[in-house]
Amino acid sequence: MITTLAIAALGLTFNNSMFHVIFSSKDLLNVRDLHVFNGEAPDSGGDIAAKCTNGTVDPYTVTFGAFNTTTHQRHVSATIKQRSKSEPLDGHAYCYPPSEVPPGRPACYTLVWGKVGPGGMQPDAELSFGPNPPPAPPRPPQCQTSYNQAACDAVGAHACKWCTSSDGLHKLCFDGTNLPTTGWQCEKSARAGASVTLSTTATTVFGPAPSPVAQCESTDVCDTPVSGVKLPNGQLALYCGNGGYPTHRMVGATLDTLKRECGPSILASQQNCDPSAYAFDNWVSGVSNVGGSLVATIDMEYHG
């Protein structure tokens, strides 16, 4: 149970007030340990009982100094022990002004143990009011932390490869983009799916005649990457344009049967000299089929 602590005219009160360790360079203060404070002290300061709920350290006493009405801090000190080992602690408690304590929150919300140096407080550990926040979600699996083939394959298609050294003595999971070039044999991922083999011979599909798909005019060139989409009628369409000139498309049942449609341009530039109109040189740079409707992205250049 978490209850509040309050600083008022009557002093300082802790009632099962829970604090968690945010960070620590101290041997006897562990991150995520919970410390419960109980007791009362006057405005001039006093001793408060503290107990670590998981027993990392023995029950101890925190001595609070007087409340500073200018900085809203209190000096704090303690000695924590575990068996024969002990560590002295010294620092400050950071508190709200008495009239500004939020409902349900403690008046002192943070204890910082450390030393004051030239640049200010040099913290060794920090306790913050309340229970520990939920732990961060686990990191997604990675190639270098996958220690068997099943785990390696499970990272994702093509992401990792399970490889065996040439002498058969070692098996490791490698990043699929950085495979060893010698001394290892790498298997296909169990989840790799279909593979693609690239031809070593380039084939010109679109360009000046006699290309399989000829230009409509000399200015009909691709100034952007080609964007492909399947039309509602099942045909394949490829789009690419050139700023300021008519935009045409290629249509066919397959990549081998594409034809350039040289009729009216599917997008004509308006050559509007007002830059705020975004309508000077325009051309289609990408197309998607969204629910049976074609949606295009348009590039725009303004030459002022």
Number of domains in the chain: 3
Tell me the pLDDT tens digit for each residue of 88-138: 999 999 988 888 877 777 778 899 999 877 777 788 999 999 999 888 787
For residues 232-259, give the mean pLDDT: 83
- Same domain for 254 and 166: no
pLDDT(248) > 50: yes
Q: Are 106 and 89 in contact (CB under 8 A)?
A: no
- Same domain for 166 and 121: no
Whether 150 is covered by a domain: the verdict is: yes
Tell me the pLDDT tens digit for each residue of 210-230: 677 777 877 778 877 888 888
List the domain range (segments joined by +) for residue 182.
143-186
What is the average pLDDT value for the chain, to the nearest integer?
Answer: 81
Residues near 218 by Cβ (< 8 Å), separated by ≥ 6? none
- Same domain for 123 and 157: no
- Same domain for 119 and 30: yes
Using the CB atoms, write b or e for 156-191: b if 16+ within 10 Å.
eeebbbbbeeeeeeeebbbebeeeeeeebebeebee
- Same domain for 112 and 42: yes
> Is 0.85 topped by the overall pTM?
no
Whether 134 is covered by a domain: the verdict is: no
- Same domain for 286 and 258: yes
- Burial label, 10 (beta-carbon count in 10 A; 0-12, 13-18, 19+): exposed
- Same domain for 98 and 177: no
Tell me the pLDDT tens digit for each residue of 127-175: 999 999 888 787 766 888 888 888 888 876 568 888 999 888 888 998 8
Least confident range from 56-60, 82-86, 158-162, 186-190: namely 186-190
